[in-house]
Amino acid sequence: MKPRTIYIPEKKLKFVVKRLRSFTKIDNSIHKTFVISEEQKALVEEEFIKLKTDSNYGLYWEEVKDKLFAY
């Protein structure tokens, strides 16, 4: 599966986030069956390295959460 990027106009973001929240349902059993590829693992590792080496890269969770729930 190829990753996809979608661009959402700022004025529609609140609507989209609200809809996504209504569709999501956490299934606690998914962690038992979820598998990621070596390529995906490498991408995550690259992000961790960027976070460790560049103090300006990324956001703190509180900042992300505040931005997400602002909509």
Structural domain total, the chain: 1
Please give the residue range of the domain that contains residue 64: 36-71
What whole-number distance in Å separates Cα of residue 71 and Cα of residue 61? 16
- Does some domain include residue 11? no
- The pLDDT, as a whole number, for residue 38 is 92
- Does some domain include residue 13? no
pLDDT at 61 over 60: yes
Q: State the number of CA atoms in the 13 A half-sphere of 13 facing the CB.
A: 10
Cβ distance 30 to 38 under 8 Å? no
pLDDT at 60 over 70: yes
Local confidence band at 4 (pLDDT 50, 70, 90 cut-offs): confident
What whole-number distance in Å separates Cα of residue 40 and Cα of residue 2? 11
- Does some domain include residue 3? no
Q: What are the pLDDT digits (tens) for 17-40?
A: 888 777 766 555 555 666 788 999
- Does some domain include residue 20? no
- Does some domain include residue 15? no
